Amino acid sequence: MKKLLSALSAGLVVLSLAGCVVSVNDGDDGFHWGDDWQDRQEENRAAIAHLYIGMSRAEVEKRMGPPDFTEAYSHDGAEYHILHYRTRHRHSDGETTMDETTPLVFRDDSLMGWGDTLYQKVSRDAKQ
């Protein structure tokens, strides 16, 4: 009888545990496999739209997070920093490339502006 009760007890424990499900993730964590770059570039575009000329580099990086690429150089006594943030899709290669970013140009730690036109002008001026 003792063995039968032990076997029944063990069986009930096993059966009660068999129906348990542990939920680790409810599936709505904001991450969607394969399109995280799309979310990031959309967020970057939205954040850039709220920047203003004259912001400090620290202020911009606090809002935007770390850039995808950076450049820095001196020219005519001024210090330039260019932060590149992913804002568009061009290549399906799994890598972010410079042509998929928007450059933010800082002169002496103050935001001059952003975009390819300004970036090209500042780059051209630095070569002269």
CATH of the domain at 105: 3.30.1450
Residue 27 lies in a domain: no
Predicted confidence band of residue 67 (pLDDT cuts 50, 70, 90): very high
- Of the two residues 85 and 96, the one the predictor is more confident about is 85
Per-residue model confidence (pLDDT) at position 89: 84
Going by the DSSP 8-state scheme, the letter that residue 82 receives in this structure is E
Residue 6 lies in a domain: no
Residue 2 lies in a domain: no
CA distance 54 to 105: 11
Per-residue model confidence (pLDDT) at position 122: 92
Residue 69 lies in a domain: yes
Residue 9 lies in a domain: no
For residue 77, the enclosing domain spans 54-128
For the segment 8-60, what is each residue's pLDDT rounded down to a tens digit? 565 554 445 444 443 343 444 443 334 587 888 899 999 999 999 999 999 99
By CB atoms closer than 10 A (0-12, 13-18, 19+), residue 51 is middle
Structural domain total, the chain:
1
CA distance 101 to 109: 20
For residue 50, what are its two tokens? 């709220």
Per-residue model confidence (pLDDT) at position 30: 41
CA distance 121 to 23: 54
Per-residue model confidence (pLDDT) at position 128: 77
Does the pTM surpass 0.75? The reply is: no
Residue 35 lies in a domain: no
Residue 116 lies in a domain: yes
Residue 11 lies in a domain: no
Per-residue model confidence (pLDDT) at position 20: 41
> Residue 7 is which amino acid?
A
